[in-house]
Amino acid sequence: MKYRKLGKSNLEVSALGLGCMGLSFGLGPAIDKTQAINLIRAAYEKGVTFFDTAESYGPFVNEEVVGEALAPFRDKVVIATKFGFKKGVVMDGLDSRPENIRAVAEASLKRLRTDVIDLFYQHRVDPNVPIEDVAGTVRDLIREGKVKHFGLSEAGVPAIRRAHAVQPVTALQSEYSLWWREPEHEVLPTLEELGIGFVPFSPLGKGFLTGAIDANTQFDKSDFRNIVPRFTAENRAANQALVDVLAAIAQKKQATTAQLALAWLLARKPWIVPIPGTTKLHRLEENLHGADIALTPEDLQTIEQAAAGVTVQGARYPQQMQQMVNR
């Protein structure tokens, strides 16, 4: 496993992290706790040192699983978690009041079985709380030794700049992949200017870029993708064209489409650290090999040309959730 630093910070992590959300929330039923712990520990044994969770994943249970799984080697890993929803429930709305940030930090420390949170993200920008107050509260938590680094998730450029002026932002986490490239327009140049690392979530397009999902796939009733416009059967059929062109390129590199998609992200910038998630050991192993694939400038140009010929159909969030991003 190769390692990277997130921006100008000294926070060094594995080139690929593990997004732990899907183990207990969002993408179908939670898997067995023992199975989840074994998968997280397998990731560590294979060189992963960066693990992503949040109080809202469950809510709460994902942090407990991550904390238990990583307890034996806590000092050798980086744990990122998040605050910002009312009582940890996404659909209940936002809450980044300073008193709530502090309450979440204390509760997360207990669930994660640790005395410090390595990276503490605001999960979504809260329009009712000045971002300066949010950054100031996390700055105070850092001074108190309860948090090491400050992060933002799905924040727009003005919020990033305002927060960074109060407390340096170590990382921005947002969706970014070959089928969602909006961050390239304004966000990535801003991060490069300010020296902030970038942590793409859903780097495999919520599973679509693996090639394992098609128009006929039936999702469990608890799966978030049921309400995502991009995942209607009609849009999946249209978006298959992107997977097909990537699969042809991957085959020439003796790689899977998932590995190609991750290698492409890693080749974008040296301060980008994707966090693919999975519930399956063989998928974990497949994803991690994506970090071993070296793409030449010619490879990247081929991917660029192929992707440019496909227009991805469907919004990435339902309207209610879309309003919470890029503020």
CATH at residue 242: 3.20.20.100
Assigned domain for 33 exists = yes
Q: What residues contact 99, with CB distance under 8 A and at least 6 apart? A: none
Quote the tokens at residue 86.
């009312």
What's the one-letter identity of residue 61? V
Assigned domain for 139 exists = yes
H/E segment holding residue 168: none
C-beta separation of 256 from 250 below 8 A: yes
Assigned domain for 327 exists = no
CA atoms within 13 A on the CB side of 1: 20
| Residue 48 three-state SS | coil
Ordered per-residue pLDDT tens for the chain, 327 residues: 999 999 999 999 999 999 999 999 999 999 999 999 999 999 999 999 999 999 999 999 999 999 999 999 999 999 999 999 999 999 899 999 999 999 999 999 999 999 999 999 999 999 999 999 999 999 999 999 999 999 999 999 999 999 999 999 999 999 999 999 999 999 999 999 999 999 999 999 999 999 999 999 999 999 999 999 999 999 999 999 999 999 999 999 999 999 999 999 999 999 999 999 999 999 999 999 999 999 999 999 999 999 999 999 999 988 878 888 889
Q: What is the pLDDT of residue 288?
A: 98
What 8-state DSSP symbol labels residue 77?
Answer: S
Please give the Cα distance from 174 to 176 (Å, whole number): 6
Assigned domain for 268 exists = yes
| Alpha carbon distances (Å) from 39 to 86, 206, 242 | 30, 19, 30
Q: What is the pLDDT of residue 322?
A: 86
Residue 286 burial (CB count, 10 A): 18
Assigned domain for 142 exists = yes
| Residue 212 three-state SS | coil
Q: What is the pLDDT of residue 135?
A: 99
Assigned domain for 260 exists = yes
Assigned domain for 67 exists = yes
Catalytic residue among 3, 44, 57, 176: 57
Q: Over the stretch 116-160, which tens digit does the pLDDT of each residue have?
A: 999 999 999 999 999 999 999 999 999 999 999 999 999 999 999
Q: What residues contact 308, with CB distance under 8 A and at least 6 apart? A: none
- Overall domain count for the chain: 1
Please give the Cα distance from 53 to 236 (Å, whole number): 28
Please give the Cα distance from 188 to 162 (Å, whole number): 16
Assigned domain for 190 exists = yes
Burial class (CB in 10 A: 0-12, 13-18, 19+), 169: buried
Domain, as residue range, for 234: 3-322
Asked if 57 is an active-site residue, the reply is yes
